[in-house]
Amino acid sequence: MVAAKKTKKTHESINNRLALVMKSGKYTLGYKTVLKSLRSSKGKLIIIANNCPPLRKSEIEYYAMLCKVGVHHYNGNNVDLGTACGKYFRVCCLSIIEPGDSDIIKSMPGDH
């Protein structure tokens, strides 16, 4: 029970931090731009939805490993991630380029 509560709390905090990034920072949404941001080493944190196809997930993780960038597996599918970003479309993966006022980069890469 304690574990379930803890995940709910951290899940909400990710959503809050993401909302702050959407408001104040720079980000890109979508697989193609995520890879672009990794190639140009502009991405600082990658967030992947849980229903991302496994091949695509592995590919993004491999690029992130080469780049030494953290990857966060979001606890929700692409519909939820899109809603968390405040968008009306599905988002499978997103890359945070500049966190703005948020501390998502400092607090998130701890949990994978």
Partner 1 sequence: MVKFLKPNKAVIVLQGRYAGRKAVIVKSFDEGTRDRPYGHCLVAGIKKYPNKVIRKDSRKKTDKKSRVKCFVKVVNYQHLMPTRYTLDVDLKDVVTADALQSKDKKVAACKATKERFQERFKTGKNRWFFTKLRF
Closest to partner 1 by CB, 59 or 75: 59
Nearest distance, CB of residue 33 and partner 1, angstroms: 11
Q: What does each C-alpha distance from 7 to 4, 19, 68, 89, 109 come to in angstroms?
A: 5, 18, 26, 25, 15
Q: Which is nearer to partner 1, 66 or 87 (CB)?
A: 66
52-91 residues in contact with partner 1 (CB under 8 A) are: 59, 63, 65-69
In the sheet that holds 70-73, the strands lie side by side as 26-29, 93-98, 45-48, 70-73
Rounded to a whole number of angstroms, the minimum distance from the CB of residue 89 to partner 1 is 23
Cα 33 to Cα 42: distance, rounded to the nearest angstrom: 11
Tracing tokens 């979508």 back to the chain, one arrives at 30
Q: Decide: is 106 part of the binding site for partner 1 (CB under 8 A).
A: no
Residues near partner 1, by CB under 8 A: 35, 39-41, 43-44, 59, 63, 65-69
